[in-house]
Amino acid sequence: MKNLFYTLLMLLGASVVFAGNPDRQGEAGAYELLMNPWARSAGLHTMNTSFISGVEALRLNPAGLTRINKTELSVGSSRYLVGTEILMNSFGIAQRTKSGAFGVSVMTVNFGDIPTTTADQPAGTGGTFSPSWSNIGLSYAHLFENKVSVGITGRGVIESTSDVSAFGIAIDAGVQYVAGAEDEIKFGISLRNVGTPMTFRGQGVAVTRPAPNAEGNFDLTYYQRSQDFELPSALNIGVSYDLLFKKATSAIVDDSEAKKQKSMNGSRLTFAANFTANSFSRDQIGAGVEFALNDMFMLRGAYKYEIGTGTNDAVDEAPLYTGPSGGVTVQVPMSKKGTSKLAIDYAYRVTKLFDGTHNIGVRLNL
The CATH number of residue 349's host domain is 2.40.160.40
Mean pLDDT confidence for 335-362:
91
CA–CA gap between residue 356 and residue 194 (Å, rounded) = 28
Residue 14 lies in a domain: yes
14: pLDDT strictly greater than 80: no
CA–CA gap between residue 363 and residue 342 (Å, rounded) = 6
* Highest-pLDDT range among 238-247, 309-318, 344-353: 344-353
pLDDT at 207: 79
For 198-207, write each residue's pLDDT tens digit. 999 888 888 7
CA–CA gap between residue 46 and residue 17 (Å, rounded) = 23
Average per-residue pLDDT in the chain? 85
Please tell me what DSSP assigns to residue 4.
H
Residue 125 lies in a domain: no
The separation between CA 52 and the C-alpha centre of its own chain, rounded to angstroms, equals 10
pLDDT at 265: 59
CA–CA gap between residue 278 and residue 28 (Å, rounded) = 11
Confidence of residue 158 (pLDDT cuts 50, 70, 90): very high
Confidence of residue 219 (pLDDT cuts 50, 70, 90): confident
6: pLDDT strictly greater than 50: no
CA–CA gap between residue 48 and residue 240 (Å, rounded) = 8
| Per-state percent for the chain, helix, strand, coil, to nearest 5 | 10, 50, 40
CA–CA gap between residue 325 and residue 305 (Å, rounded) = 12
253: pLDDT strictly greater than 50: no
Query: For the CA atoms of the chain, what is the radius of gyration?
Result: 24
Mean pLDDT confidence for 141-154:
92
Residue 360 lies in a domain: yes
Task: Give the torsion through C-alpha atoms of 319, 272, 360, 114, to 10 deg.
Answer: 20
| Higher pLDDT pick, 331 / 13 | 331
For 81-130, write each residue's pLDDT tens digit. 999 889 999 999 999 998 899 999 999 999 988 888 888 888 888 888 88
Beta carbons within 8 Å of 287's beta carbon, 6+ residues apart: 47, 271, 272, 273, 274, 302, 303
Specify the range with the lowest mean pLDDT, choosing from 145-159, 199-213, 248-262. Answer: 248-262
What is the percent of the chain where pLDDT is above 90? Answer: 60
CA–CA gap between residue 202 and residue 161 (Å, rounded) = 10
9: pLDDT strictly greater than 60: no
| Higher pLDDT pick, 75 / 3 | 75
71: pLDDT strictly greater than 90: yes
Report residue 229: phi and psi, to 5°: -140, 145
Specify the range with the lowest mean pLDDT, choosing from 119-123, 152-156, 206-210, 281-285. Answer: 206-210
170: pLDDT strictly greater than 70: yes
pLDDT at 255: 40
Residue 310 lies in a domain: yes
Residue 297 lies in a domain: yes
Mean pLDDT confidence for 203-220:
76
Total domains, the chain:
1
pLDDT at 286: 96
Give the H/E segment covering residue 292. Answer: strand 284-293
Three-class DSSP category at 33: helix
User: Taking phi first (over 0 means left), then psi (-120 to 50 degrees means alpha), and beta for anything else, what does residue 71 get?
Assistant: beta
Residue 49 lies in a domain: yes
Residue 126 lies in a domain: no
pLDDT at 334: 87
Its domain, for residue 242, covers: 2-120+131-365
Residue 339 lies in a domain: yes
Specify the range with the lowest mean pLDDT, choosing from 5-9, 85-89, 128-132, 259-263. Answer: 259-263
For 285-296, write each residue's pLDDT tens digit. 999 999 999 889
Residue type, 309: T
